[in-house]
Amino acid sequence: MTEAAHQLADREIGLSQASRDYFGLAFPAVEAFADALASEGEVRGLIGPREIDRLWTRHLFNSAAVVPFLPTSGVIADVGSGAGLPGIVVAAMRPEAEVVLIEPMDRRCVWLRWVADELGLENVDVRRGRAEEYHGAFEADAVTARAVAALDKLARLTLPLLGRGGVLVALKGRSAEQEVAAATKTLRRFGGGPAEVLQASTIEGVDDTVVVRVARETIKGS
């Protein structure tokens, strides 16, 4: 299949009735986000040209796969937001939640603010900096992360952002089980409970996403 054919197939899935049903009221915002990534996002270097032909199947649905594991309201923080995957998708699908996008690079923060404004996502709060700089600054009900770090390091960055009972929901790949095994002591040290490795489905024709879910059970000093 040629690159053009791949892109057409990807877009057909993205604009299918199954996709519209899956995203529901969030579909117009997600579609607009896809268009922004394919145009302005590529120009700004937020996404590579080779990723344009799989925006929906590899990136947007992959991002959406975390949403069923997130609360419908409260504070959701996305660490290392980059181009807005999964943070912008989460904000579109969880309109009653405050979605805090934490990103250290200024040009990416500019992009995230621009996209949120273009999509009318008033529940987005973009904060420049590293996750550890916000430890103690606010208490999140959930934290998401995609392609940020191995779970051992990710736990150090994200668990301190959570209140008791809050959840880390990380998008992972084939190495998820090994990462969980390597992070057991760190998870316990930062108050995390046992990590769950879950297969998250979206729609037919799109591969399942591997999600690691960790609840923060204890907080030092409490």
Q: Give the residue extent of every domain in the chain.
A: 3-215
Q: Would you state the pLDDT for residue 105?
A: 96
Q: What token pair was written down for 132?
A: 């550890």
Q: Looking at domain 3-215, does it have CATH number 3.40.50.800?
A: no
132 is in an annotated binding site: yes
Q: Would you state the pLDDT for residue 29?
A: 98
Look-up of token digits 């690159």: 3
50 is in an annotated binding site: no
Q: Would you state the pLDDT for residue 73?
A: 98
Q: In whole angstroms, give the CA distance from residue 138 to residue 140.
A: 6
H/E stretch holding 24: none
136 is in an annotated binding site: no
Q: Residues in the chain with pLDDT < 70?
A: 1-8, 220-222
From the CA atom positions of the chain, what is the Rg in Å? 17
Q: In whole angstroms, give the CA distance from residue 141 to residue 165.
A: 7
pLDDT tens readout for residues 154-202: 999 999 999 999 999 999 988 899 999 999 999 999 999 999 999 999 9
Q: Would you state the pLDDT for residue 7?
A: 52
pTM: 0.92
Q: In what order do the strands lie in the sheet with 209-215?
A: 124-128, 97-103, 74-79, 140-146, 162-172, 209-215, 196-200
